[in-house]
A and B are shown apart, each in its own frame.
Chain A
Amino acid sequence: MSSSKQALAHPASSADAAPGDKPGAAGRANGRGTPPPGSSSWRSRLYRWDMKASPYAFISPFFIVFGAFSLIPLLYTAWYSLHNVQLADLDGQTWAGLDNYENLLSSDFFWNALWNTFTIGVISTVPQLLMAIGLAHLLNYKLRGSTVWRVVMLTPYATSVAAATLVFVLLYSWDGGMINWLLDFVGIDPVNWRESDWGSQFAVSSIVIWRWTGYNALIYLAAMQAIPVDLYESAAIDGANRWQQFIHVTIPQLRPTILFTVVVSTIGATQLFGEPLLFGGVSGSKGGSEHQYQTLGLYMYDQGWIIGNLGKASAIAWSMFLILLIVAVIQLLISRRLRKSQ
């Protein structure tokens, strides 16, 4: 603790000393606790106060913005979720207790959306992370024009969801889309990608995979480059081939990074919204005629902004939050377990 405090205090005090404040500089030389002789007591009090408060002042912008745009809306949403609130009659809200939540628990649409969020999450996250590790491994070799490859990897991430999804909609078009055209070559009947149950989930997942694989690959790549070379050298001396090195050196060293990407991807998957909405086209918030790819995010949007039932939409939002908390706890337990087993 004390070392971190000093680390914080040091730049603050030197900044303080910068405008030619001699006593300040002397104070630094004398150590933090003892005020320099000759300076008045209010000054030392001010100085001490400055030491204590400045760090908070410096980090406060984040918390002010967080409070205004995240925390207050979060709490307000919780308040809304306990009321019957209609978009067209915001002032006419009435207390509903846990009705909205009970309504959700007994609603097929909610469980369907939850299940879809889970399945699309798995179909998109697992291949995405596996491919990312593989790509990172390849990029880690000495390649000609490695920067070019890395930039190329990141381009899908830099593309807007909307632009990417619109292109995918055309690719997956039932009649005349490129994917069905290719399937036709191998003798497979055209798939109605948007209306079939698994086809639509696969299609939505493929957009997510396309967008995020490169991003995760770069994170893995950065972590791989931090692995000391001597580990590989000693493994090589022990007779490990490339694959064995990958399994026994790279993967264990990447463990914290993998955990990080899993957490981030899980959060992303739970909030999945833009891709299925735009993939659905007109009335995309329904997620298909049988809600076959309606995620929790879409269901919330549909309830809140299309149907206008803000109370229920708020309850969905809080359910998503609770689900994320549960997932976070599970991941925490797993990571602890892993650390212990190490």
Chain B
Amino acid sequence: MRTSTRRSRRLMALAAAAALTTGLLAGCAEDSDDGSSNEGGGNGGGGKTTLTIGTFGVFGYKQAGLYDEYMKLHPDINIKENVTTRTDVYWPKTLTRLQAGAGTDDIQAIEVGNVTEAVQTQADKFVDLGKEVDKSQWLDWKNAQATTKDGKLIGLGTDIGPMAICYRKDLFEKAGLETDRTKLAEQWKGDWGKYVDLGKDYMKKAPSGTKFVDSASSVYNAALGGEVERYYDKDGNVVWDKSAGVKKAWDVAMDVATSNMSAKLKQFDKPWDQGYANGTFATVACPAWMIGYIQEKSGEAGKGKWDVAAAPTAANWGGSFIGVPTASKHQKEAVELAKWLTAPEQQAKVFAKQASFPSAPSSYSSLKPAAATQAYFSDAPITEIFSASAKTIPTQYLGTKDQPIGTAITDIGILQVEQKGKSPEQGWDAATNEIKDVLGQ
């Protein structure tokens, strides 16, 4: 659910300035760009077709050189990427443009947190890609997220966020805990509660100034990422307060929040980054995309100290899709480009450059993390761990308001308990009130 935020917070310092001070102006400027490119790519020159692709955060296509490669393969195509840094800016803008039927790019990225909203409310604004591709190329649960009730596929899977646990071997050793990744995975297998129990052991002999985990919210998100029933049931009714999945994840998070094992940081905040740099927490729920983040934030000091173990349950956190709006003037070319960008070979290239984990399982055998990454994480078999998780993730019931409901639970309910010393009951009540406001009840 958090890929976007992950990506955007990484650039927060630059992003915030850009988003708030020039956001509106940029929006206007983009409109005019779109206009000219939709005309038929006059700006490409020589009868070229210009395709625009709207993304958020850092998608990695440009970084991996995919656009240049495609343009070399298709000399009549010119590709232009319109990047919005923050999803909470990108998505409302995209929604209004989709509905206006104007100003959209030829390809629009959709974050997993928004894909259900797109499927349920904007399906007629997207080209059905189901007929264009071999769906077996993607993981089933990934396809399911972008498929409407009547079987229309509105987006092709890009990356996913299969879950593992990243932990500081050196801190575990000082606290007198097991440090072997397979044995650790055995210890907490199947139950996040066991992971929290290990945290209690850790706190008994914790090296000074360190905690077991970064925040209670991250444990909540990780635990919920493996549940089938979350905030909605399979018929699309809101059942968050009766959901078994939410209950389980909430209880685990409350255990963390009330037992002094959390560093009480807020994910994707500056102090959280500093926590990585200073080594103030020993473990973090680690979706595949977190690997790159840890390397960047922990820096040289963390090299060889981090290790990766399988998570208690297979879970997904984050990921995206790309779809082709029906408003595109070059639908055929756009579909071809989208297919090519999400093909297993290209996904593997993005992984090599950006560590975005592919949603196409046929690429898993050939995935190779950078040598530096492997050394950084004590030569852990990263791709095997994530691949194993990816293949066993259940298909979840998702709903249109998953994102704001999730925020209400983590950033209102859990935060109150963790940082303001409220009781779990008070936290739950506060989250309940907030969610009522979100749902307009």
Contacts and interface: CB of A to CB of B under 8 A. Distances in A.
Contact of B121 (A89, A175, A286, A305): A89
Contacts of B404: 306-308
Contacts of B267: 282
A290 B430 contact: yes
B9 A282 contact: yes
Categorize the interface residue count of chain A. 35 or more
B17 A283 contact: no
A27 interface: no
B407 A173 contact: no
Nearest to A84: B440
Contact of B96 (A90, A195, A289): A90
Contact of A173 (B16, B20, B92, B270): B270
A305 B94 CA distance: 12
Given A163-B17, A307-B438, A289 B420 contact: yes
A161 B20 contact: yes
Contacts of A160: 17, 20-21
B117 to A, nearest CB: 5
B74 to A, nearest CB: 34
**Residue from A89, A166, A308 whose CB has the most chain B CB atoms within 10 Å:** A308
B283 interface: no
B124 to A, nearest CB: 11
Contacts of B9: 282
Interface in B119-153: 121-122
Contacts of B264: 174-175
A316 to B, nearest CB: 12
Interface in B74-122: 88, 92, 95-96, 99, 117, 121-122
B230 to A, nearest CB: 18
Interface stretch (B293-301, B316-324, B411-419): B411-419
Contacts of A162: 16-17, 19-21
A8 to B, nearest CB: 34
Given A174-B271, A282-B267, A286-B412, A306 B419 contact: no
Contacts of B121: 88-89
A166 B271 CA distance: 11
Interface in A182-197: 192, 195
Contacts of A304: 92
A174 B415 CA distance: 14
Contact of A282 (B19, B20, B117, B268): B268
Nearest to A161: B20
Nearest to B118: A88
A165 B15 CA distance: 13
A170 interface: yes
A290 B420 contact: yes
A87 B92 contact: yes
A211 interface: no
A36 interface: no
Interface in B397-441: 400-401, 404, 407, 411-412, 415-416, 419-420, 430, 433, 437-438, 440
A282 B416 contact: no
A177 B265 CA distance: 13
B5 interface: yes
**Residue from A88, A170, A175, A305 whose CB has the most chain B CB atoms within 10 Å:** A88
Contacts of B270: 166, 169-170, 173, 281
Interface string B15-32: 011011100000000000
Interface in B241-292: 263-271, 274, 278, 280
Contacts of A274: 20
B73 interface: no
B13 interface: yes
Interface string A250-289: 0000000000000000000000001001100111001001
Contacts, number: 101
Contact of B117 (A88, A161, A176, A312): A88
A128 interface: no
Contacts of B401: 307
Contacts of A109: 437
Contacts of A39: none
A309 interface: yes
A302 B370 CA distance: 40
B431 to A, nearest CB: 10
A91 interface: yes
Contacts of A277: 20
Contacts of B122: 88
Nearest to B217: A282
A87 B95 contact: yes
A282 B21 contact: no
A282 B269 contact: yes
Nearest to B263: A175
Interface in A88-107: 88-91, 103, 107
A128 to B, nearest CB: 21
Nearest to B274: A176
B269 A281 contact: yes
**Residue from B13, B270, B271 whose CB has the most chain A CB atoms within 10 Å:** B271
Given A166-B13, A282-B5, A282-B266, A195 B415 contact: yes
**Residue from B5, B16, B419 whose CB has the most chain A CB atoms within 10 Å:** B16
A283 B407 contact: yes
Nearest to B415: A289
B419 A195 contact: yes
Contacts of A175: 263-265, 271, 280
Contacts of B412: 286, 289-290
A169 to B, nearest CB: 6
B411 A173 contact: no
A91 B99 contact: yes
Interface in A302-324: 304-309, 312
Contacts of B96: 87, 90
Contact of A289 (B95, B263, B274, B416): B416
Contacts of A87: 92, 95-96
Contacts of A89: 99, 121
A330 B124 CA distance: 51
Given A195-B419, A283-B411, A290-B420, A305 B88 contact: yes
Contacts of A306: 88, 404, 407
18 contacts: A87-B96, A89-B121, A90-B99, A91-B99, A160-B21, A165-B16, A174-B271, A278-B20, A282-B5, A283-B407, A286-B412, A289-B419, A289-B420, A290-B420, A290-B430, A305-B92, A306-B88, A309-B440
Interface of B: 5, 9, 12-13, 16-17, 19-21, 88, 92, 95-96, 99, 117, 121-122, 263-271, 274, 278, 280, 400-401, 404, 407, 411-412, 415-416, 419-420, 430, 433, 437-438, 440
Given A162-B19, A174-B264, 18 more contacts: A87-B92, A89-B121, A90-B96, A103-B440, A160-B21, A162-B20, A166-B13, A176-B274, A192-B419, A274-B20, A282-B268, A283-B407, A289-B415, A289-B420, A289-B430, A305-B92, A306-B88, A306-B407
Q: Report the 6 A-B pairs with minimum CB-CB distance, sorted nearest first.
A: A289-B415, A162-B17, A88-B121, A162-B16, A283-B411, A281-B269
